[in-house]
């Protein structure tokens, strides 16, 4: 289900340092996620220099890079992007659990938003549905969520 209010937000905001970590596994899908997120950040007023992009081999590696970024305190938010598509083994469940728990742990331990833009789908068609198809564009959604959460945390 898509949060329509966030997905349609195009208001201009103040830029802040943000990192995007993208898994290259299922590259066609993750590239579209990354392009959607970056495009939305730029559309919302971000400076290109404030957007730091990093690539990792697979989704499991996202939390380690997120932790290193959080430790350095050079960015104020981290967006994680990946695509875990179910296969015929239990590997899917393990990967989904590891990356989601790892991102949550980094966020809570280092007090930094780590937004979860990792698609977890049963097949590639469902992934593409979430990249501009009937389920919206999750790259755009996660960029908007990062901005919204940053604004909320700035008020605390």
Task: Cite the annotated binding site for 5-amino-6-(D-ribitylamino)uracil by residue number.
Answer: 25, 59-61, 83-85, 116
Set out the domains of the chain in order of their start, with CATH numbers: 15-154 (3.40.50.960)
| pTM for the model | 0.92
Q: List the catalytic residue out of 71, 91, 93, 152.
A: 91
Task: Cite the annotated binding site by residue number.
Answer: 25, 59-61, 83-85, 88-89, 116, 130
Phi and psi at 132, nearest 5°, equal: 110, 0
pLDDT at 30 over 50: yes
pLDDT > 90: percent of the chain? 86
pLDDT at 144 over 60: yes
Convert the pLDDT of each residue in 68-83 to its tens digit.
Answer: 999 999 999 999 999 9
Convert the pLDDT of each residue in 88-125 to its tens digit.
Answer: 778 999 999 999 999 999 999 999 999 999 999 999 99
Q: What is the mean pLDDT of residues 37-50?
A: 97
* DSSP symbols for the chain: ---HHHHT---------EEEEEE-TTHHHHHHHHHHHHHHHHHTT--GGGEEEEEESSGGGHHHHHHHHHHHT--SEEEEEEEEE--SSTHHHHHHHHHHHHHHHHHHHHT--EEEEEEEESSHHHHHHTEEETTEEHHHHHHHHHHHHHHHHHT-
Please confirm, yes or no, whether 91 is among the known catalytic residues: yes
pLDDT at 38 over 90: yes
Interior angle at CA 145, CA 140 and CA 151, nearest 5: 135
d(CA 56, CA 80): 10
Q: Parallel, antiparallel, or unpaired for β 131-133 and 136-137?
A: antiparallel
- Token readout for 28 is 């066609």
pLDDT at 1 over 70: no
């Amino acid at each position: 289900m898509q949060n329509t209010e966030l997905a349609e937000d195009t208001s201009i905001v103040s830029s802040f340092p943000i990192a995007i970590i993208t898994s290259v596994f299922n590259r066609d899908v993750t590239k579209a996620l990354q392009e959607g997120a970056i495009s939305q950040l730029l559309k919302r007023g971000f400076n290109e220099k404030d957007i730091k992009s990093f690539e990792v081999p697979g989704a499991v590696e996202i939390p380690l890079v997120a932790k290193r970024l959080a430790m350095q305190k050079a960015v104020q938010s981290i967006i994680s992007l990946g695509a875990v598509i179910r296969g015929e083994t239990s590997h899917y469940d393990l990967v989904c659990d590891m990356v989601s728990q790892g991102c949550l742990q980094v966020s809570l331990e280092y007090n930094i938003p780590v937004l979860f833009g990792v698609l977890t789908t049963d097949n590639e068609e469902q992934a593409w549905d979430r990249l501009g198809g009937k389920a919206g564009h999750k790259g755009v959604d996660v960029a908007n969520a990062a901005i919204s959460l940053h604004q909320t945390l700035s008020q605390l």
